[in-house]
Amino acid sequence: MNLLTEVLAFIVAIGVLVVVHEYGHYSVARLCGVKVLRFSIGFGKPLAQWVSRKTGTQWTIAMLPLGGYVKMLDEREDGARIPDDELRYAFNRQSVGKRFAIVAAGPIANFLLAIVLFAAVFATGVTEPAAIVASPAMNTAAAHAGFEGGETVSAVRDASGGEAEPVRSWSDLRWKLLGAAFDHRNVVLTAKDRNGTFDFPLSLESLSDKEVDDNFMSRLGFEPGGGTLSVAGVQRGSAAQKAGLQAGDRLRSVDGHPADNATTFINYIKSHAGKPITLQVERGAHAPQAGSEAGAPSGIQSNMQPGTMHTITLVPNAQRDDATGENVGRIGAELATQVPSIDVRYGPIESLRLGADRTWELGVYSIRMFGRMIVGEASLKNLSGPVTIADYAGKSARLGPSAFLSFLALVSISLGVLNLLPIPVLDGGHLLYYLVEAVTGKAVSDRWQLVLQRAGLACIVALSAIALFNDLARLIHF
């Protein structure tokens, strides 16, 4: 069922993005007076096709839904025989400005789609984790800033001055810190706890470009906190069972640190293989009765009545981690977590503004990240291919409409940025030709276009190979 969801979500996502991108080319071409011969969604054998009586355009849905194209009347096409009375409708007969507009319209359509999708998410409202910080790991930027866990971040401002920007949710905090980390700007976070409101100076200068990735928040020591962490199940013969943990128990703290985030708790357990740790546990109201869990010390269980707090000491077993090959701590307990959430909703005008801001930020981030990958300042592992896109499409679809629309907007921005890269065979390569023609007054020669096209095709093949390798690496963890 999950595979079917991923396939359907992937087809819908790619279909929508391709239609929007190609319709951008199509609509501006029609406005510029260019005759469009074919509008195709997908490649290969046509599954369905029809001809518009009004425009004469052939509309096609093809077998491979991995792209599309708009074929315009053009004298440069092999075997093209254009009547004299239709030459004015040919693409190659248009001015540089019109050709530039037609080619640029595809990526621009993707950016406009992202703005609309983000605006829809902001306007209809989305439930996100609250900006509550979990207890940070030692020697992280969050720990050095003074966070102890449980603080709610309400604003971010530049350490060098300027107005503070409000923080509404964990996602909002992540985006603001991402921009600051990418620019290596130190910031000041305003957060409140039970004792009042305080400023926390956060240093981001030490974060290298390669560390500004999907995991940068965890690297800084930031994880969503303020939640409840409970035991969902216990493995027989495990350290958790021997210590008396049962399904339904609520974990309050580990070695004096709040246990309010699963990632933080698991990482702490991993780092304490063979070392005793102390848990503060509240027995769940629906936990099994004493003695019902085979292999658990009955003395410990009999003293833990529902609703009471108890202290448990256990030693995580050392086990080999398949991903790293290192020995890490395991206690043999399945965890369930609930994180405090907040409903974020904006008005129509503000939603459009925020949608445009988010699209701009992501577009600039994508361009800068790609540039840093080229010069070796960022890892090529950030490239993703169709397998990863399909995986995330399915996951976001299962999370709900808001998550899927946000995913669709993100991929639309990526598609727009990719097509604007100055690589021959992409829209950006053609735009580069037109800029050269506008400056020099002469079109780039067919010979040079052929040479550059081959080079551009080699670049696309290389990028595709790297993206596919990364997809496979994520699937089989090598």
Cross-strand bridge partners of residue 15: none
Active site residue 326: no
How far is residue 37 from each of residues 19, 29, 74, 418, measured CA to CA in Å?
16, 11, 10, 25
Buried b (16+ CB within 10 A) or exposed e, 10-19: beebbeebbb
Range 471-474, long-range pairs (CB < 8 A, 24+ positions): 471/384, 471/385, 471/386, 471/387, 471/388, 472/387, 473/381, 474/387, 474/388
463-to-387, 457, 469 alpha-carbon distances in Å:
14, 10, 10
Q: Which residues contact 453 (CB under 8 A, 6 or more apart)?
A: 424, 425, 429
How many other C-beta atoms can be found within 10 angstroms of the C-beta atom of residue 138?
A: 9
> What are the structure tokens assigned to 221, written together?
């020591």
Rounded to 5°, the CA angle 216-217-219 comes to 60
Q: How far apart are CA 113 and CA 376, in angstroms?
A: 31
Q: What are phi and psi of 395, to 5 degrees?
A: -65, -45
Query: Which amino acid does the sequence have at 319?
Result: Q
> Catalytic pick from 22, 128, 151, 282?
22
Between strands 327-330 and 196-202, the pairing is unpaired
The full DSSP string for 14-62 is: HHHHHHHHHHHHHHHHHHTTPPEEEEEEEEEEEEEEEE-TTT-PEEEEE
Helix, strand or coil, per DSSP, at residue 266: helix
**Residues 6 or more apart in contact with residue 364 via CB below 8 angstroms:** none
Q: Where are the alpha helices (DSSP H) in 51-189?
A: 96-124, 141-145, 170-182
**φ, ψ (nearest 5 deg) of residue 453:** -65, -40
Query: Which helix (H) or strand (E) covers residue 341, if one does?
Result: strand 341-344
Tokens representing 359 are: 């699209």
Cα distance between residue 478 and residue 470, in whole Å = 10
Stretch (H or E) spanning 314: strand 309-314
Give rounded-to-5 percent helix, strand, coil for the chain: 45, 20, 30
Catalytic residue numbers read: 22
